[in-house]
Amino acid sequence: MSTEANRYPERAYMVQHQIMSRGIHDEPLLNALRRVPRHQFVPPDQAPAAYQDRPLPIGLGQTISQPYMVALMTEALHLTGDENVLEVGTGSGYQAAILGELARQITTIERHAPLADRTQRLLQDLGYANVTVVTGDGTLGWPASAPYDAILVTAGAPHIPSALQAQLADGGRLVIPVGSSGFQNLVRLTRHGPRFDQEDLGGCVFVPLIGKQGWGEDERRGWW
């Protein structure tokens, strides 16, 4: 089947059997998952598998997250449509597109410039005018557009970067996988003035967050 064929039925099936069946029922989020053409965010040879229940390789040793994980993390941000959002770890841009459907303004930061450039073009072609891709070390956040109502980190961190906490608006939510190289806990921090409430949302496995307030370049050896 051509990758350009209408694949809406596959997305509707994905939403029902991978997302709703696991307890996610937020209608705007489900609709975003039905709309965004996930097969266009993966390399052509992976397009036939785009709606399967797993992460997929996107080049440079990176992955596009499993659809359920995208849904779970997005739901945890409690978006209502008016938020200024930072994503750390642009990758394919799929998560950024989902955020673009559900919030006002998205800044997404990627450390690999070629990946960032390719994804910026794709998001432009697909009409996501409210998503800006920048290149840099996302463990330091992106102060130019701060404060953020929501921050989503889509790579595994050894600890919560203080720069991201500092760029969170009052009442804002930070969702981030924190743990060892092989396994992390999905953590949500909610800011109340100077206080940060922390909740555990369950286990997950992500590629490493590499940067000044993440893993060092050397520590990642053996990850993939």
Q: How far is the CB of 58 from ligand SAH (least distance, A)?
A: 6
* Max CA distance (Å), the chain: 54
Q: Is 178 in the site for ligand SAH (CB under 6 A)?
A: no
What x-and-dash track marks residues 122-151 binding ligand SAH by CB under 6 A?
---------------xxx------------
DSSP per-residue codes, 183-215: -EEEEEEEEETTEEEEEEEEEE---B-BSTTSB
For position 156 contacting ligand SAH by CB under 6 A, the verdict is: no
- How far, rounded to the nearest angstrom, does the alpha carbon of residue 132 sit from its chain's CA centroid? 14
The two structure tokens encoding residue 211: 């940067």
Element holding 106 (H helix, E strand): strand 105-110
- Interaction between residue 184 and ligand SAH (CB under 6 A): no
> Which entry of 21, 65, 145, 181 is annotated as an active-site residue?
65
H helices of 17-66, in order, are: 27-35
Which range in 5-13, 46-54, 122-130, 206-214 contacts ligand SAH by CB under 6 A?
206-214
Residues labelled catalytic: 65
Q: Which residues bind ligand SAH (CB under 6 A)?
A: 62-65, 88-89, 91-92, 94-95, 109-112, 115, 137-139, 154-155, 207, 209-211, 214
